[in-house]
Structure 1
Amino acid sequence: MRPVRLTLSAFGSYAEEETIDFTQISGGLFLITGDTGAGKTTIFDGIMYALYDRTSGGERDGSMMRSQYAPEDAQTYVELVFSYRGEEYTVRRNPEYYRAGKRKRSDKKIHLVKEAPKVSLLLPGGEEYQGKKKEIDQKLEEIIGLDAAQFTQTAMIAQGDFLKLLHAESKERKQIFSRIFKTSLYRKIQEELKEQAKQVYTALEECEQDCKKELGRVEFPDFDSLEEEKNRWKVFLEQEIPDEKEVLKQLNEICRYDTEEEKKLTEELRGVQKEITRLQLFIQKQEETGRLFDTLCKEEEQLQKLDSQKEWIEELKQQAKGGARAQKVWGKEELYKRDKEQELLLDKHIMENTVWLQNWEAEETALRKKAEELCGQFVPAEKQLTEQIASLTALLPRYERIREMKTACQKETEKMEQYLVWCREKAEAYEEVYRQFFKEQAGILAADLEEGAPCPVCGSLSHPKKAVLSGKAPDQKKVEQAKKARDKAEKERLEAYEAFQKIKGQLDAEKAQIGEEKEEEARQRLEALKQELEQRRGEAEAAKKEWQQLKEQGRQKKGELQEQQKQKELLAARIAKEKRAYETALTAQAYPDEEAYQKDKKWIDGWEEKNRSVQQFETDVKTCCAKMETLKLQLKGEKKTDISGEKNALKEKEDRKEYLDDRLRNVYARRRKNEDACRQLEARYTSLEMLKKKYEVLGNLSRTANGSLSGSAKLDFETYVQRQFFRQIINAANQRLAKMTENEFLLQCRELKDLKNQGEAGLNLDVYHLVNDAVRDVKSLSGGESFLAALAMALGLADIVQNTAGAITLDTMFVDEGFGSLDEESRERAIQILKQLAGERGMVGIISHVSELKEQIEWKLEIRKDEKGSHASWNM
């Protein structure tokens, strides 16, 4: 992977859109330089964020990288164009952040809008890769061939990651290598073996507990002959796991005793059950005969009771018959009566509407005349009032102008008064300067007088008392300046006066046009005219509306009257038809007159219930007679018998059966329980033996894989695999470290024989000094030596990761680390190694504050920062 172009927008310390074009350098080693906090590491952060959605240090996610210098409406995003094996890809990613919305809130404040995180990927052909964020992240990792952890250890080594790998304990290196080389599979094997061994051991303990539970479940019969066996079984329960053969032999003997007892109880139970059945059949037959005699007696009493109700039933029968006849006529009568009532109600409505319409015509004429009169008066009044309102409305803005001109006039008056004071002050100042200047002229003339020479003023040749110069008088220039100041003040006063006169003239003219009427009076008169206009309009419209409503109401009443008259004609015909149907129904039911019908009519309600009562009575009589005949046939030749002796004998046999059933159930349950315990113990003993053998194998495998064998170093399976990678890293690191230190010391993986038995070990790092043939801990290196060793380890790790990640191609490497701890000679050797690495990979970029590196490295990416954020530019 080689970066082509990186664009940062409102990201980190870069407030504005900043683009870094890596094609401006031909390749090799380049330096990223700038003041502390300028934004050098943010270059790394941008590349890491674009590719892996995380920063180079891994401590901040993208949502924390919104620039504090960016405007509120700026977009935050990173766009990286990179090439891989000759093809270019473009990835653009933005975090979740808040920006200013396009529309402001009602209170004019900025409305913040949350921008959702997004990522897009353009493939070499220019088409966009289709997929969600997770799919795009996986595609980027697939293209580069490295995940984020591997990338930060091979292509972009963040500040502090050097010494992290160099000074880490064995446990910490194990975590680092697990992420980089993906050795968690071996750890899962360890954990799986450990879990399986634990499960087998738990199953073994559970099986032993199950054996003890089965032994405790065994029950003994209450036979004195088994006392010796009971004592022997107590001894079994006290043992950890008793002998299988002895236990099963004793348990089978107990089951044999219960089997024999079960046979004896079963035989006796059969005899008792046979006698119980004989007694139950005899008692049942005698009880049934007694019940039949009782039933016959009840039926005879019921028949006597029914005979006493015959007269009442006959009366119900006649009422039900009359109600049935009357109901067939009643429906016709109801229709006829209902329509007659409706005819009376309709006549009432027709009369009411006729009277209303007679009064309506006079009222409608009066309302129409009133409406026409008010509308006729409103038209000219509306025109006149509207013109007056328009006139007053047009006058109101002129009052506003008068107020404005009064204010302006007042301001000009105050201004004119100020100029007047100023003009007076300037005039007085000029007079004073001129007076002093004129007074000093005598001294000036006297200074040139000589005895015998004539005075230019009086012509005297003698000058006994010449005027003397005071030395404080103003000169001609000051007098002229004072005069100019006075003239200027006078001019400005005149201009102010003219402005005052102009605005005052406009004010007077406007007042003359409007007249003497006050503004408040005009507004009151305007409001009164509007109210009068609305009042007249309302009166005219109300009168017109009232007339229209009455007119419409009259039209509706006429329609109702016509419809009611039609309904009356139809109703009269229907009433005549229904009357004929009613009279026909009376004849059909054989009523001689309407009076006979009215007598039966009172039995209509409930006639069906009465009819059902009559039918039920007749059915009950027939049923009772039939039952009595049947019972007499069944009891022919039979009589009642006392069976108390047989019942007592049955009770004794049932008690004995209950006792035998209970005892048989107990013996059966005990035998089945003991037999089940016997089967379970056989299975448990078999499982116990298998689990012991299985745990012996799995336990040894688990302890070996997890490094918990006693007397040896705690080297687990994953660490053993990681040691092979660790040795390869150290070998690759030593190839460069030897050049950087001139073979002064090398790194080596601590031998197994030197590892401690306490804690996790296996990835310990030592330093071997070739000069004195001594081995010591890597933490004893000085600051400069630690930096060189750490750099060599980082480069070695990058080599091994590339080789183990599927022969990936890395054209670029970034190193964020200071070189300040190195002397000049060591720094020179380190730079040579990095230049050599740049020749191998194409591009190596480093961050450093060491000023000497600016002279040793040709290409430099300078980062500067001002009040608007960071900026980047190439410099050679």
Structure 2
Amino acid sequence: MRLHRLQVTAFGPYRRTEEIDFDELSSGGIFLLHGATGAGKTSVLDAVCFALYGEVPGVRPRNRLRSDHATPDQLTEVVLELTVGGRRLELTRRPEQERPKRRGTGTTVEKHFSALRELSPSTGEWTALSRSHQEIGEEIRQLLGMSREQFCQVVLLPQGQFATFLRADATERGKLLGRLFGTDRFVGAERWLFERRGAVEDRVRAQDQRLIALAHQMRQAAGRAAAEQPPPETAPGEPGLAERVLGWAAFARTAAREHADVAELALSAAESALKEAESDLEAARETAELQQRYTDAQARSAQLAAERTRYEADTERWERASAAQQVTPALDARDTARREHDVAEAARQRTAAALPDGPADADQLAQRAGRLREDLGRLDAARRAENRVNELVAVRDGLDREAAADEQAERDTAAWLADWDQVRAAHQRRIDTAHQAGQRAVQLAGQLDAARTGLAAARRRDELIDLERAADERLLRARETAAAARERWLELKERRLRGIAAELAGELADGEPCPVCGSVAHPAPAEPGTGHVDRDTEERAQADSLRADETRGAAEIELHTVRERLAAARETVADRSVAELAARLAELADAHDEAARAAADVHPAREAWELAEREHQRRVDAQQRASARAADLLARRETLDAELAALREQLTGLLDGEGSAAEHASRLERLAAAYTAAADAAKAASGTAERLAQAETRLTAAARGAGFDTVSQAADARLDAAGLRALRERIEEHQARQAAVTRELADPEVLAAAALSPADPRRRRAEFDAAGDRLRDAFAARQAARSRCAELDRLSAEAERQTAELAPLREEYTRLRRLAELVSGSSTENQYRMRLESYVLAARLEQVANAASLRLRRMSSGRYTLVHTDARISGRGRWGLGLRVVDAWTGTERDTTTLSGGETFFASLALALGLADVVTEEAGGVRLDTLFIDEGFGSLDEQTLDEVLDVLDGLRERDRAVGIVSHVADLRQRIPAQLEVVKGRYGSVVRQRSSAEARVGG
């Protein structure tokens, strides 16, 4: 990677656009970057990093990149031109920033901007590649092969860290190497192994716990067998636990099967005893039943003897009723004839009373009825004429009603049609009104959306005003806290520097050389004074200061974000209040609802208009039909009137003034019907009297034939079928009961049982129940024994299965435990007790020491070489992170803390360059043609400075450029190519001087 050109505008301390030509600066291989403290030397390196990665080193927020000296219309921008991977690229970056609005007053937020272009070697023209922040970041990371942190370590060499690195103990050295090489993943691997081991250990213990739980369940299932020999006492994780549990399970299964065999024998004995008790119970029940039958038969025999008189009376009554059955048909016939005669005689008397000329015989009454029917025949013609008159009158009345209805409908239609023009105009006005309301509703909908947006923005504005006030207060507190924390840190740092001698004295050990003077004798080591501050206290204060700065930066970002959102909200609604906007929104909403309701009437209005049109056409058609129908009705009425006049003249001649023909005919019909009914009733009464006399004669003869002296005796003895059947059933029931008692008393079994002593089934039942209880107990005992055997078999199988499953898990746990102890340095197999992270860092440290020694020997004229050691230094710190310096002049190997200030500088510089080589190789071997080296040259003497510059000059091999950031005045004479940063009241500027210009000036 080679830098060609850097252009910054309104960036950091630079107010205007400043351009740096790295091609011109690096033409001599080495160039110097110098300037007063706070002028902006570091900002040049920040701009390079920001152009590449969109971020600056450290924790500085991007919203603080803009120059405080810049005018409002200037945009902060960084443009970097470089060659990487054989491609000439141009990167342009602008952070998020405020700018004036192009129209109106106030400011708006300019979003973060990124652009990437590539120069075509063939055409010499720039081609735009991307404007995506993510795509550009990914492209640069792939080309460089380094993250931002690695780039800052390799290209912007953190030499100051390596000066501390040389003097640090193994623990501090491990922390620094961990940050440089990012070994958190190995710490994560250690943590994962420990967590994995713990998880597997928990699973093993959980399996053991389940195995112990199974042993307890087997103890409960085993019953008496467990009491004879209880299970072994075990604990989770105890070796041999599974074998002891499985051994005891085998014993419990054997004992349980023995108990099951004993229970089986007891059950067989109980079953035999139950069968014998059941046989005795059945015999007692049969004897008791026969004895009871004998007793019951004797009781029924005594009861039948008491009912003998009633039985004989029932038998005599049944015989008389049976004889009366022969007379019953004649009695029924006589009674039927008497009823018929009574009915006929009543009818004759009733019809005779209705005649106008008194009673007569049947023949006379029939003759009178015939004469009346002859008169009715002569009235038929008059009745037909009279019926036709009535029909014609009804038709004429109907025509009159139709004519009246047509006249009324015609008047209604004429009145309706007279108002048609007004109705039509009203419907048109209704449709037009609905259309206008629809258009207004559309307009109001747009205004309503704008009003809602404005109201929401006003509410956001009011909320953001409160948020801005709170954020401003938080920022003020954060700034005060950050200032106090920094002041506290600087105070502690100054106090520590004043007592640094006491701190160094605290690290002295008898027999070991002093890191300052090299003496092994320490006669009067300095003592800590009042208020002495050690390194940990200072570092904690520094960490507190950094955290306070981070909090302040976050508060500034929060305040900036809130102000941007507030400006956007104010731009939308200006200064209008929420109440005003809410009232306007409610007004618009009411108006829109009213317009929408009116617009919704457009379809009903059109339907009403179409309905009115159809009604108008119907009315016109009805008016025309009514006119035609009125003429037809008039002609038909004239024809009816003529026919009515003729018929009425005919009726007058036929009736001769005796009312209507219908009334006269009705009167004759009623009289003829009365004579006919009287004749029929007289004839029927004569017939029934004759049949009654015949029935009386037959009844008297039947009663004497059946053995009765009179008809009344036969009637008294008669029973109906139900009574006769009930009497017969009672007689037969008595006879059956008598026969059953006789058979029962003659039964040999009953007689034999009666001769025995009384049976006792209750006692036999008690003996049977007791035998059943013994059988149930034996059966339950047998079932319980079988259940114990089955449960023990199941639990034993489960224990064997879990034991088989636990075997590979325990093997895995053993492997994980050994590996975790190995990477943590606690295993006896780990000779140096080195953790995994320390092992990786030791390998990296060895690579860095080898690469650094190549340059250190040259810087020290072949005197010093850095070597890595796995041993623990002075019994303190970590294993494997030891670093020693070999002095070729004395042939001794000593601690790096014994180096002088200048020696420490070039040793740390060699380490920084060695680190650059190692990280570059790890990142994929990307060529780095431009490097920057930080301060530290002021501690070198003239000869050492020359040697260091010779080494740096050697970095120019293959066209490599090195930029030195330093305040040392002597370097300005030794390095002709310079970039000076000059600070002023209105911002900093850069002055560039190339090697050629220096030679011309010289």
Q: TM-score, normalised by structure 1?
A: 0.52
Contact residue 39 and residue 863 of structure 1 kept, 8 A = yes
Taking the TM superposition and a 5 Å limit, the aligned residue runs for 1:709-748 are 709=827, 713-743=832-862, 745-748=864-867
Change (3 A) 1:154 1:244: same
Moved more, 804-813 or 780-789: 780-789
Deviations 1:361-396 (A, max 9, x none): xxxxxxxxxxxxxxxxxxxxxxxxxxxxxxxxxxxx
5+ residue gaps in structure 1? 267-336, 358-556, 578-650
Structure 2 Cα separation of the partners of residues 662 and 339 of structure 1:
108
Structure 2 Cα separation of the partners of residues 803 and 231 of structure 1:
65
Q: Note if 1:837 corresponds to 2:955.
A: yes
Contact residue 755 and residue 761 of structure 1 kept, 8 A = no
Structure 2 Cα separation of the partners of residues 793 and 571 of structure 1:
124
Equivalent position SS for 1:92: strand
When Rg is computed on C-alpha atoms for both structures, the one with the higher figure is: 2
Deviations 1:687-726 (A, max 9, x none): 4555444444432232122212259543123432332331
1:817 to 935, 960, 970: 935
Change (3 A) 1:219 1:707: closer
Whichever residue aligns with residue 796 of structure 2, its letter is C
* Corresponding position of 1:84: 84
Q: Note if 1:46 corresponds to 2:47.
A: yes
Structure 2 Cα separation of the partners of residues 775 and 339 of structure 1:
145
Change (3 A) 1:224 1:114: same
Whichever residue aligns with residue 919 of structure 2, its letter is V
Q: Note if 1:846 corresponds to 2:964.
A: yes
* Corresponding position of 1:802: 920
* Corresponding position of 1:250: 252
Change (3 A) 1:136 1:261: farther
Structure 2 Cα separation of the partners of residues 236 and 839 of structure 1:
68
Structure 2 Cα separation of the partners of residues 575 and 169 of structure 1:
132
TM-aligned CA deviation for residue 778 of structure 1: 3.1
Contact residue 749 and residue 763 of structure 1 kept, 8 A = yes
Q: Note if 1:118 corresponds to 2:120.
A: no
Change (3 A) 1:566 1:811: same
TM-aligned CA deviation for residue 229 of structure 1: 4.3
* Corresponding position of 1:94: 94
1:786 to 887, 904, 925: 904
Contact residue 767 and residue 775 of structure 1 kept, 8 A = yes
Contact residue 94 and residue 119 of structure 1 kept, 8 A = no
TM-aligned CA deviation for residue 814 of structure 1: 0.8
Change (3 A) 1:848 1:235: closer
* Corresponding position of 2:988: 870
TM-aligned CA deviation for residue 195 of structure 1: 4.2
Deviations 1:602-645 (A, max 9, x none): xxxxxxxxxxxxxxxxxxxxxxxxxxxxxxxxxxxxxxxxxxxx
* Corresponding position of 1:303: none
Structure 1 Cα separation of the partners of residues 235 and 949 of structure 2:
84
Taking the TM superposition and a 5 Å limit, the aligned residue runs for 1:194-593 are 194-218=194-218, 220=220, 227-229=227-229, 241=241, 242=244, 244-254=246-256, 257=259, 347=411, 350-351=414-415, 568-569=623-624
TM-aligned CA deviation for residue 12 of structure 1: 1.3
Equivalent position SS for 2:66: coil
Deviations 1:488-532 (A, max 9, x none): xxxxxxxxxxxxxxxxxxxxxxxxxxxxxxxxxxxxxxxxxxxxx
Q: Note if 1:13 corresponds to 2:13.
A: yes
Whichever residue aligns with residue 142 of structure 1, its letter is Q
TM-aligned CA deviation for residue 655 of structure 1: 12
Taking the TM superposition and a 5 Å limit, the aligned residue runs for 1:591-670 are none
TM-aligned CA deviation for residue 3 of structure 1: 0.5
* Corresponding position of 1:64: 64
Structure 2 Cα separation of the partners of residues 74 and 663 of structure 1:
101
Structure 2 Cα separation of the partners of residues 171 and 699 of structure 1:
26
TM-aligned CA deviation for residue 203 of structure 1: 2.7
TM-aligned CA deviation for residue 339 of structure 1: 14
TM-aligned CA deviation for residue 212 of structure 1: 0.8
Equivalent position SS for 1:73: coil
Structure 1 Cα separation of the partners of residues 794 and 869 of structure 2:
61
Structure 2 Cα separation of the partners of residues 231 and 801 of structure 1:
64
TM-aligned CA deviation for residue 658 of structure 1: 11
Contact residue 13 and residue 68 of structure 2 kept, 8 A = yes
Change (3 A) 1:859 1:215: same
TM-aligned CA deviation for residue 123 of structure 1: 6.2
TM-aligned CA deviation for residue 796 of structure 1: 1.5
RMSD: 4.9
Whichever residue aligns with residue 726 of structure 1, its letter is L
Change (3 A) 1:115 1:226: closer
Structure 2 Cα separation of the partners of residues 810 and 780 of structure 1:
33
TM-aligned CA deviation for residue 845 of structure 1: 0.6
Change (3 A) 1:801 1:230: closer
Structure 2 Cα separation of the partners of residues 228 and 353 of structure 1:
119
* Corresponding position of 2:33: 32
5+ residue gaps in structure 2? 269-400, 422-611, 633-768, 994-1001
Deviations 1:455-513 (A, max 9, x none): xxxxxxxxxxxxxxxxxxxxxxxxxxxxxxxxxxxxxxxxxxxxxxxxxxxxxxxxxxx
TM-aligned CA deviation for residue 34 of structure 1: 1.7
Structure 1 Cα separation of the partners of residues 202 and 210 of structure 2:
12
Change (3 A) 1:162 1:182: closer
Change (3 A) 1:22 1:653: farther
TM-aligned CA deviation for residue 121 of structure 1: 4.6
Change (3 A) 1:225 1:751: closer
Whichever residue aligns with residue 967 of structure 2, its letter is H
Structure 2 Cα separation of the partners of residues 698 and 24 of structure 1:
60
Equivalent position SS for 1:218: helix
* Corresponding position of 1:677: 795
Equivalent position SS for 2:74: coil
Change (3 A) 1:42 1:704: same
Structure 1 Cα separation of the partners of residues 184 and 931 of structure 2:
27
Change (3 A) 1:97 1:238: closer
Change (3 A) 1:874 1:236: closer
Q: TM-score, normalised by structure 2?
A: 0.46
Structure 2 Cα separation of the partners of residues 838 and 130 of structure 1:
33
Structure 1 Cα separation of the partners of residues 234 and 813 of structure 2:
30
Moved more, 249-258 or 90-99: 249-258
TM-aligned CA deviation for residue 30 of structure 1: 0.5
Deviations 1:69-101 (A, max 9, x none): 222232222221111365312222222222222
Structure 2 Cα separation of the partners of residues 210 and 835 of structure 1:
73
Structure 1 Cα separation of the partners of residues 628 and 874 of structure 2:
127
Structure 1 Cα separation of the partners of residues 870 and 235 of structure 2:
56
TM-aligned CA deviation for residue 741 of structure 1: 3.4
Equivalent position SS for 1:709: coil
Contact residue 863 and residue 870 of structure 1 kept, 8 A = yes
Equivalent position SS for 2:72: coil
Change (3 A) 1:237 1:134: closer
TM-aligned CA deviation for residue 653 of structure 1: 15
Change (3 A) 1:249 1:855: same
TM-aligned CA deviation for residue 654 of structure 1: 14
TM-aligned CA deviation for residue 29 of structure 1: 0.7
TM-aligned CA deviation for residue 821 of structure 1: 2.8
Contact residue 745 and residue 767 of structure 1 kept, 8 A = yes
1:762 to 860, 868, 880: 880
Whichever residue aligns with residue 821 of structure 1, its letter is S
TM-aligned CA deviation for residue 182 of structure 1: 6.3
TM-aligned CA deviation for residue 10 of structure 1: 2.0
Moved more, 142-151 or 229-238: 229-238
Change (3 A) 1:47 1:255: farther
TM-aligned CA deviation for residue 861 of structure 1: 0.9
TM-aligned CA deviation for residue 28 of structure 1: 0.9
Contact residue 810 and residue 841 of structure 1 kept, 8 A = no
Aligned length: 529
Equivalent position SS for 2:937: coil
